[in-house]
Amino acid sequence: MAELFKAAADQLDAYSAGTFTRFILPMAPRGYRFQQRVWAALQDNPYGKTESHGELAARIGSSGAARAVGLANRKNPIGIVIPCHRAVG
């Protein structure tokens, strides 16, 4: 467990320094199936890029679900590791 916390701390430090762009940590956030799809899609959005909730909804095959994407984004339990800040309203 200590190794996992060390890896997380090291990756957060590197992310803050701008030398690391995608977290490589075992994750199992709990949420509804739709939330899981949104959180997985958030991780596929490239570093330095943003997309609207509507664009993300369309990308996961749920066009018209922009508000639901926004709600799932807000419920993201691992805010930096799953980069919810890359999806905007």
Number of domains composing the chain: 1
* Catalytic one of 56, 72, 81, 84: 84
Is 45 one of the catalytic residues? Answer: no
Write down the pLDDT at residue 2: 87
Q: Are 60 and 41 in contact (CB under 8 A)?
A: yes
Assessment of whether the complete model's pTM goes beyond 0.85: no
Where residue 76 sits, what CATH number does that domain have? 1.10.10.10
Query: Considering Cα of 43, then 85, then 87, then 20, what sign does the dihedral take?
Result: negative
Q: Which domain holds residue 21?
A: 2-88
The overall longest dimension of the chain from CA atoms, in Å, is 43
43-60 pLDDT, tens digit each? 888 888 889 999 999 999
Between 6 and 26, residue with greater pLDDT: 6
